[in-house]
Every structure is written in C-alpha cells, then in structure tokens.
Amino acid sequence: MLTVHHLNDSRSQRILWLLEELAVPYEIVKYQRMSPVPYAPRELKGVHPLGKSPVITDAGRTIAESGAIVEYLLDRYGGGRFRPAPQSTEYWPYVQWIHFAEGSAMLPLLLALYTSRLGDGAAALRPRIDAEIANHLSYMEQALQGRDYFVGAGLSGADIMLSFVVEAAGERLRPYPSLMAYRDRLQARPAYRRALQNGGPYRFSQHG
C-alpha cells in the first residue's frame, strides 16, 4: 500500500489532501517535529537521505519533493483528473503554478520564518523579504481575480501546491481578499477536512 511519511505542520499535509481527493487508499507513518527548534526528526533520514517530509513509498519507489509527488500521484492514480490535458491552452499555466509554489513563493516566506529568530540581527534583510512576499501574493491575487481556482474551472494539482503558500502566509494574507476566500474555499472541501482528521493537528488550517 502507498505510504505517506507525514511530518506534523508540514507540506506533507497537502499530499494527504490530494490522496483524499483521489480516493486512493494509503497509510500514514507520523513523525513529530523536535523541540525547541522544530526541525524534522532524524528518523526521516532512514526513509530519504534529505530527512525531510513529504516522502511517499509506493510500488517499490521512494519519492520526495511535493511537486514530484503531486505529479506522480496524478500520473498513477489521477485518470486525467486534477490537471489539464497536455494539448490544452491551460496546461502550461498549470505547469507554471506547480513550479511557482516552491520555486518562487515559498523562499521569502521561509526566509521570514528563519530571520524572525535572529531578532535585530536580521533587520537589514526584512524590508527586502517583506517586499518579495508582497510581490508574490499580489501576483497571485491578481491572477485569481474572478476565479475560484488558479487553472480552469475546478481544483487542480496547482491548487494543491499553492495551498501551502496561502496557509504559510498567515496574517500576511489579510490585504488580499481573493486569496483569503480561496484559502477558506480549499479548507472547506470535504477531502481537505478528512486529510486533517487523518494527519492530526495542523496549525496552518482555520479548521484545526
């Protein structure tokens, strides 16, 4: 059976959500972040050399990286669902958003998290970090105007990837009403709620 190596309060929550949307049976191996610094536990290195989550094992394969996992699950289990056809006009925008989530949007959010622990030592960096976060969120807000999802008329793998961006943005999302409504719409989906129940407490969700 497909196994998700799930770290609390991490990107692996969106993998559980996609599996619920696909109605694919899976099992979860849960890992807890360390304290006081919330690093992933060392046990994850026994699954993948990077020691990070998400990681899945399925059919003799071990796959890391959220985007790669999303693509794998849609290839193997999607049956054409949750992504546009390769020949469609929506396909390359879909690919762009898939890569944007981790390639551009998450970097300044992570820098904001890390530098928040440095106090005044990070003061010179904060204006640039804040400007980049605002640039990315404004770009997303504009792209979402008049739409429920980023690509096409329904949920796609791009939305699965982008969900963690809008969740990780936290209070920074307040100036962007379309993104606020989008986050709430994603988190209200029944499959999202089931994934929360299976994955355990997740501080980025409005529902738990």
For residues 115 and 76, state if they share a domain: no
pLDDT in tens, 33-44: 988 878 898 999
Query: Does residue 38 have a cis peptide bond before it, meaning omega lies within 30 degrees of 0?
Result: no
pLDDT bucket at 121, cuts 50 / 70 / 90:
confident
- Taking the C-alpha atoms of residue 168 and residue 171, their distance in angstroms, rounded to an integer, is 9
- In this structure, are 115 and 183 located in the same domain? yes
In a domain, 151, yes or no: yes
- pLDDT above 80 (res 118): no
pLDDT of 125 over the 90 cut: no
Q: How many domains does the chain have?
A: 2
Residue-level pLDDT at 113 = 87
Q: Which residue from 95, 100, 104, 105 is spatially nearest to 165, judged by alpha carbons?
A: 105
- β-strand partners of 30: 6
182 and 98 within one domain: yes
Instruction: Output the pLDDT for position 1.
Output: 94
Q: Is the predicted pLDDT of residue 207 greater than 90, yes or no?
A: no
Do 95 and 75 share a domain, yes or no? no
Residue 70 sits in the same domain as residue 149: no
- What residues have CB less than 8 Å from 160, skipping those under 6 apart? 14, 17, 18, 21, 70, 82
Alpha-carbon distance 25 to 39, whole Å? 29
Claim to verify: residue 103 and residue 172 sit in the same structural domain: yes
Is 207 a member of any domain? no
Q: Are residues 185 and 95 in the same domain?
A: yes
Within a domain: residue 62? Answer: yes
* In a domain? residue 63: yes
Q: What is the pLDDT of residues 189-201, one digit of tens each?
A: 999 999 999 999 8
Helices (H), the chain: 12-22, 66-77, 91-100, 106-115, 126-144, 157-169, 177-187, 190-199
Q: Please give the residue range of the domain that contains residue 22.
A: 3-82+192-199
Classify residue 156: in a domain, yes or no. Answer: yes
- 147 and 72 within one domain: no
- The residue type found at 75 is D
96 is a domain residue: yes
| Mean model confidence pLDDT for the chain | 94
The pLDDT assigned to 124 comes to 84
Residues 141, 124: one domain? yes
Note whether 124 and 176 are same-domain residues.
yes
Are 115 and 72 contained in the same domain?
no
Is 60 exceeded by the pLDDT of residue 208?
no
CATH number assigned to the domain comprising residue 47: 3.40.30.10
Categorize the per-residue pLDDT at 117 as very low, low, confident or very high, splitting at 50, 70 and 90.
confident
In this structure, what token pair is assigned to residue 78?
Answer: 């999607």
In which band, very low, low, confident or very high, does the pLDDT at 114 lie, cut at 50, 70 and 90? confident
CB neighbour class for 140 (10 Å; exposed up to 12, middle 13-18, buried from 19)? buried
What span, in angstroms and rounded, lies between the C-alpha atoms of 145 and 32? Answer: 38
Is 208 within the bounds of a domain? Answer: no
- pLDDT tens readout for residues 61-108: 999 999 999 999 999 999 999 999 999 999 999 999 999 999 999 999
Q: Is residue 123 part of a domain?
A: yes
128 and 72 both lie in a single domain? no
- Tens digits of residue pLDDT in 151-184: 999 999 999 999 999 999 999 999 999 999 999 9
